[in-house]
Amino acid sequence: MGKEKPWALVSEEGVDQSLLDKLRDVLKQHFQIISRREFLQNPQLHGPKIQALFVWSLRPAAEVVSNGGAGTDHLDVPLITSRGVKVTNTPGAVSNSTADMAMALLLASARRIVESLKTAEDNILPRSLRGVEVTGSTLGIVGMGEIGYKIAQRSKGFDMKILYHNRTRRSAEAERAVGATYCRRLDDLLTRADFVVLAISLTPDTTGLISHRELSLMKPEATLVNISRDLVVDQDALVEALQSGTICAAALDVTHPERLPRDHPLLAMPNVLITPHIGGNTWAAVDSIAQTTVENALQAAVTGSPIPNEVKPKGGDDNFVLTRAVANQECAWWLVAWSALIPLAPF
């Protein structure tokens, strides 16, 4: 059996019907295709499958891609901005909810909450469910941005010893406020932490950041918590580390793919806790995302005022491009912009 063809979303707008029919014939040789009309009938079902977008009409008046969420790794920011289109995001909207989620995963894994719930009806407490003490343990935070710092604030309430690794060191005042110690080398954090929480953005530099070598440096009793992005962790290496006892447990709000195949080994491991990317899924966070997304668009396209949440390309940045096939180079910029305006997958 041959490999399943990738899915493509095809717009019917801006193209002659006879040409569209011909294009469909060609596309079907390489893609499983879905029309924009079909997509909009059930975007949650179809969105995660889409790997390519085909758009035939130009949108020269587009001024902004207002992205709902903090991550922009699904957008080619240098390409979009090179066309004079601004990119914005909502970095602070999910900070509290995601930090809460990190602590929830850490605590649930340490105290084996999910496993305990499964035995509650039997009215027994097996010794095998004895948990790990969180209070007084050492927490290592990889990525001390806004979310990482909020995790540190919360962990202080558990009297945890806080280590952190970040591209830039926080101010001495910020470190004192949460009792955090800076680790210039990631290796130093990994060897000392009882819990390692990943709170970093996905970039070419952070893709596969945690792999075989890094996991081997962690304590055998350590737990890995990932509330950042799936590809930050080499998932195959994580499976091996958990199976071999290199580390004790993992608590993941993100996986690759986002919905794991039902026979994936991670789903069968009692020492793995997985949630379906719900770190930012609270009523307060969703309201904030909606409000900030609209405000960003208004500031960029209507008022022309400065945008506090504008995302600018970084030097040498090679962001991931969602669109893997385009009809022609001239429409590529709108293609990418459109992908941000339609919810291809839950944030």
- Kind and range of the H or E element at 64? strand 64-66
- Closest residue by Cα to residue 205 from 41, 104, 315, 55: 315
Q: So which residues are the catalytic ones?
A: 229, 258, 277
**What's the rounded Cα separation, in Å, for the pair 120 and 259?**
28
Q: Torsions phi, psi of 250, nearest 5? A: -145, 140
**What's the rounded Cα separation, in Å, for the pair 106 and 131?**
12
For 217-276, give the secondary structure using H, E and C. Answer: HCCCCCEEEECCCHHHECHHHHHHHHHHCCCCEEEECCCCCCCCCCCCHHHHCCCEEECC
**The amino acid at 330:** E
**What's the rounded Cα separation, in Å, for the pair 297 and 293?**
6
**What's the rounded Cα separation, in Å, for the pair 162 and 65?**
37
**What's the rounded Cα separation, in Å, for the pair 280 and 168?**
25
**What's the rounded Cα separation, in Å, for the pair 299 and 286?**
20
CA distances (Å), origin 4, targets 10, 52, 283: 18, 14, 37
Beta pairing class for 249-252 and 272-274: parallel
260 is written with which tokens?
Answer: 């794991």
- Closest residue by Cα to residue 216 from 185, 247, 183: 247
